[in-house]
Structure 1
Amino acid sequence: MKRLWDISPPLHTRSPVFPGDTPYSQVWGATIGPGCPVNVSQITTSPHAGAHADAPLHYAQGAPTIGEVDLAPFLGPCRVIHAIDVGALVRPEHLAHAQADLPPRVLVRTCTQAVVDRWVDDFSAFAPETLEWLADRGVRLVGIDTASVDPAASKTLDAHQVLRRRDLRVLENLVLDEVPEGDYELIALPLKLMEADASPVRAVLRELP
Structure 2
Amino acid sequence: MTWIDISQPMNDRIATWPEDTPFSYHRSVTIEESGSVNIGDITMSVHTGTHIDAPFHFDNQGRKVLDLDVDVYIGRAKVVDCRGYTAIGEEVFDGVDLAGVGRVLFKTGASPDPSDFPEEAPFLKPELAGFLRKKNIRLAGVDVPSVDPMDSETLEAHHALFSCGVHILENAALAEVEPGTYELCALPLALEDADGSPVRAVLKPVDE
Report TM bin, short chain: over 0.9
Secondary structure of 1:131 counterpart: helix
Letter in 2 for 1:163: L
- Identify unmatched segments of 5+ residues in structure 2: none
Q: Distance in 2 between matches of 1:121 and 1:99?
A: 33
Is the Cα contact below 8 Å between 1:102 and 1:137 reproduced in 2?
Answer: no
The Cα offsets for residues 151-188 of structure 1, whole Å up to 9 and x where unpaired, read as 11111110001122112111100011111111110011
Deviations 1:16-74 (Å, cap 9, x if unpaired)? 11110111012221011154311111100001001001111112112111112110110
Name which of structure 1's ranges 136-145 and 30-39 shifts more when overlaid on structure 2: 30-39
> 1:144-183 counterparts in 2 under 5 A?
144-183=142-181
Separation in 1, partners of 2:158, 2:110 = 24
Change beyond 3 A, Cα 1:35–1:134: closer
The answer (yes or no) to whether the contact 1:190–1:200 under 8 Å persists in 2 is yes
- Distance in 2 (CA, whole Å) between partners of 1:155 and 1:201 is 25
> What residue in structure 2 maps to residue 196 of structure 1?
194
Match of 2:105 in 1: 107
The amino acid of 1:76's aligned partner reads G
Q: How far apart are the structure 1 equivalents of 2:84 and 2:39? A: 43
Alpha-carbon RMSD: 1.5
Whole-angstrom CA distance in 2 between matches of 1:100 and 1:190: 24
Number of residue pairs the alignment of both structures matches: 207
CA deviation digits over 1:60-106, x for unaligned, max 9?
1121111121101100111100010212x112112223144261100
Distance 1:30 1:146 in 2: 35
- Which residue type is aligned with residue 116 of structure 2? R
Q: 1:102 to 1:133 in 2, by over 3 A?
A: farther
Aligned partners of 1:67, 1:100: CA distance in 2, in Å?
Answer: 28
Aligned partner of 1:57 in structure 2 is: 56
| 1:81 alignment counterpart | 80
- Please name the residue that 1:44 is paired with: 43
Compute the TM-score of the two structures, normalised by the length of structure 2.
0.94
The alpha-carbon distance between structure 1 residues 32 and 100, as it changes in their structure 2 partners (threshold 3 A), is: closer
- Paired amino acid for 2:130: E
Give, in whole Å, the separation in 1 of the partners of 2:98 and 2:192. Answer: 37
CA distance in 2 between partners of 1:91 and 1:34 (Å): 56
Contact map agreement 1:60 1:164 (CA 8 A) in 2: no
Scaled by the length of structure 1, the TM-score of the pair is 0.94
Structure 1: tracts of 5 or more residues without a match: none
Moved more, 25-34 or 47-56: 25-34
Contact 2:78 2:98 in 1 (8 A): no
